[in-house]
């Protein structure tokens, strides 16, 4: 099956710990994105990458880091510097500047 996978579906961490969320796609898409979704809010862009070994900050990049070493993978690290890390995290990919396709999401809870 072609698509975007995110793992795990649920993730629990203690405050002060870094955590890495996985995103993999087998759609051969060049661009990948990370969004954060909070209750009652739209999707806010954290980071995006248009090509391997290159990425740009989105609107809320503080406290997050990413890497893009392979076309298929775009992991997101939520660092201890992120003040409110509990949220639903969504990964997306696109083959051009238009349609973006989303993965199933990872719900992160930090206590």
Residues forming contacts to another protein in the complex (CB under 8 A) are 4, 6, 31, 33, 40-45, 48, 50, 58-59, 90, 92, 94, 97-105, 107
Pull the structure tokens for residue 85.
């890390």
Minimum Å gap between C-beta 95 and another protein is: 11
**Closer residue to another protein, CB minimum distance, 85 or 103:** 103
**Closer residue to another protein, CB minimum distance, 45 or 73:** 45
Minimum Å gap between C-beta 103 and another protein is: 5
**Closer residue to another protein, CB minimum distance, 78 or 92:** 92
Q: Residue 109: left if φ>0, alpha if ψ -120 to 50, beta else—which one?
A: beta
Minimum Å gap between C-beta 25 and another protein is: 12
Could you tell me if 45 and 61 are in contact, meaning their C-beta atoms sit under 8 angstroms apart? no
Rounded distance, CA 107 to CA 85, Å? 10
**Closer residue to another protein, CB minimum distance, 15 or 54:** 54
Could you tell me if 105 and 89 are in contact, meaning their C-beta atoms sit under 8 angstroms apart? yes
Minimum Å gap between C-beta 76 and another protein is: 15
């Amino acid at each position: 099956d072609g698509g975007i996978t995110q793992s795990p579906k649920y993730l629990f961490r203690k405050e002060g710990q870094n955590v890495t969320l996985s995103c993999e796609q087998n759609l051969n898409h060049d661009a990948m994105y990370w969004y954060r979704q909070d209750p009652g809010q739209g999707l806010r862009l954290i980071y995006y990458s248009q090509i391997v070994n290159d990425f740009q900050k989105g609107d809320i990049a503080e406290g997050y880091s990413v890497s893009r070493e392979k076309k298929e993978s775009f992991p997101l690290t939520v660092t201890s510097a992120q003040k409110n890390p509990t949220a639903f995290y969504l990964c997306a990919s696109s083959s051009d500047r238009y349609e973006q396709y989303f993965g199933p999401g990872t719900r992160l809870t930090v206590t």
